[in-house]
Amino acid sequence: MTCEELMKRDVECLSPSDDAEEAARRMRDENIGFLPVCDQSRKVLGVVTDRDIAVRLVAEGRPADTEVEEFMTRDVVACAPRDDVQKALQSMSRNHKSRILCIDGGRLVGVISLSDMAERLRGDGAIEALREISSRETHA
């Protein structure tokens, strides 16, 4: 199975100039904990997670109007739409990430979460990957 077959295509992005309050509001409204940060052409610049907001903003006493480009995670884990999902799963596991961006020609085309993989793969490495990914909590 390819990443293209599994990825969610309807992915909202934040602009680097959106502020933390907007990011948190969109996460709440969409019931998600992660948003890619993209320019107008959907080139990925980074990601913002609910953890980024808690650790890099709230814990440091920064204001809610801080632009996301000031606290976003710049290193992203990505795959190509035509990559095999096992390759993406290995990358997620190696990098202890529960989501991977699908990028084609430098542009965001989709996102795959570990739960997407677990639903479709039914044990083909998903359980081991979950164990690897969740180990980041015990090493932090």
**Model pTM score:** 0.83
Q: Which residues contact 70 (CB under 8 A, 6 or more apart)?
A: 62
Candidates 44, 10, 56, 29; CA nearest to 20 is: 56
d(CA 100, CA 123): 19
Domains and CATH numbers, the chain: 3-139 (3.10.580.10)
pLDDT tens digits, one per residue of 77-97: 999 999 999 899 889 988 988
d(CA 77, CA 62): 27
d(CA 104, CA 117): 20
In this prediction, residue 14 has a pLDDT band, given cuts at 50, 70 and 90, of: very high
